[in-house]
Structure 1
């Protein structure tokens, strides 16, 4: 992660080939029409920047489409929270892009194996979480780098988040907020029953984590990687996909690193 101008543009360069994508809501669509009228609409494969109009959910969907592509994404908040978005539509969008700060995000890779033998692969920029499917609490064994670290966690679920996702579900589950530059992955239980006082762990970003579901017939568990949900899993393997990345642009003074720090001082 860096807080600097986008390295794909030379100093003083102002990008003009812009692609606009809008969430399916009235505000986002109206802004898209206005901005396309001002700047034109460039195809994604020819664009220098992708302008995402919507909320955090639509931004997350958009970022998934740019994984592995050198196309920076600048979000404009037309939703609710807008943690990943810039707060307002700028008067001079190309100049804002030229001055924007960069956050480079790497996803988690999930491999989930189901009771019927299927293997489902998915990527997550926020988090991968497991949760119980019925009234029965889940029983999960946790291994890290081939070594069992917790033989049995009885809980509603458990999650691993990226640093960027540590302010989302992870924070709601009382997990720690992690700076982007820390190279750490929070591992956080969701409503742990036994061990009751276990609050999770901070793992190096190189860690390979495996969840094995115990008593699967009695206690079925689902796994979710951002938008991909897999039911009736028996095991889930998670690691950081360091070879993949997406680039997000933020207004000066509003970098993602700053937002994550500021979130820790919010009541």
Structure 2
């Protein structure tokens, strides 16, 4: 069994990396059967993004003492092979954004927890928002929007009063950031089969950027956001981690 270890730069994670790689070896990600991370949710998300191009590559995250996160298993340096074999596989959906920037350049980005559209300058953004093939577009004015998956709904989305999505559900949530108009705006639950079209109004004077945890693309004119139809990532969870992950969602595992 080949394992690729990824660790945060914190001393505790680096010590665990040295011990585990000495015991189990260190494989290149492309050749590994598993990616094992040492740190917190940030390190786990980095590995999951790395695995986007390798959908069969599962990620087993272990949390060091100085880190926090609900995606991680407890850190133990012994019995790793048995833990990997016994862990449950959780398939996480991936968000995709097809973006057109000012000047006509096209970009594509992916996210596991959320995609954020937000103003770049002091002036609030003006956006025209539509669910593709459903109803008429809505024009809004505010600081931006957040599109989130169930696994991401406990974080930035909740900080802006977005809904907590049931874990494992076929839902996404569209949550506003500082929406001034319309004043009756409220978060919108979407099917994960819906396609969201966003156009930036007056982009030259009210520029908008789009970002994920790891990438920011400025000066966008329009974007199409949806659940990627052909990409998922696999997170490995032991029983303790499953229970911890379900706790914020009010579920028993």
Identify whether the pair has TM-score above 0.5, normalized to the shorter chain: yes
Tell me the CA shift for residue 123 of structure 1.
0.7
Question: What secondary structure sits across from 1:109 in the alignment?
Answer: strand
Contact 1:55 1:85 in 2 (8 A): yes
TM-score by length of 2: 0.90
Counterpart of 2:68 (choices 68, 73, 81) is 81
Task: Note if 1:44 corresponds to 2:33.
Answer: no
Q: What are the residue-to-residue correspondences of 1:202-241 with 2, within 5 Å?
A: 202-241=189-228
Tell me the CA shift for residue 88 of structure 1.
2.6
Contact 1:20 1:36 in 2 (8 A): yes
Q: Which position in structure 1 is the counterpart of 2:163? A: 176
Aligned-pair RMSD on alpha carbons? 2.0
Q: Which position in structure 1 is the counterpart of 2:58? A: 72
Higher strand share: 2
Structure 1: segments with no counterpart, 5+ residues? 1-15
Q: Which position in structure 2 is the counterpart of 1:27? A: 12
CA distance in structure 1 between the aligned counterparts of 2:137 and 2:175, rounded to whole angstroms = 13
Q: What are the residue-to-residue correspondences of 1:54-73 with 2, within 5 Å?
A: 54-69=39-54, 70-73=56-59
Counterpart of 1:158 (choices 129, 133, 145) is 145
Relative to structure 1, the CA distance from residue 176 to residue 59 in structure 2 (aligned partners, 3 Å threshold; closer, same or farther) is: same
Relative to structure 1, the CA distance from residue 246 to residue 30 in structure 2 (aligned partners, 3 Å threshold; closer, same or farther) is: same
Per-residue deviation, residues 76-127 of structure 1 (Å, max 9, x unmatched): 1135322221133253222222221211112111111112111111111111
Per-residue deviation, residues 28-77 of structure 1 (Å, max 9, x unmatched): 11110011122222333333221111222222111111124212110011
CA distance in structure 1 between the aligned counterparts of 2:171 and 2:244, rounded to whole angstroms = 17
TM-score by length of 1: 0.86
Q: Which position in structure 1 is the counterpart of 2:87? A: 100
Q: Which position in structure 1 is the counterpart of 2:112? A: 125
Tell me the CA shift for residue 179 of structure 1.
2.2
Tell me the CA shift for residue 144 of structure 1.
0.5
Contact 1:178 1:260 in 2 (8 A): no
Task: Note if 1:263 corresponds to 2:231.
Answer: no
CA distance in structure 1 between the aligned counterparts of 2:125 and 2:173, rounded to whole angstroms = 20
Aligned length: 249
Structure 2: segments with no counterpart, 5+ residues? none
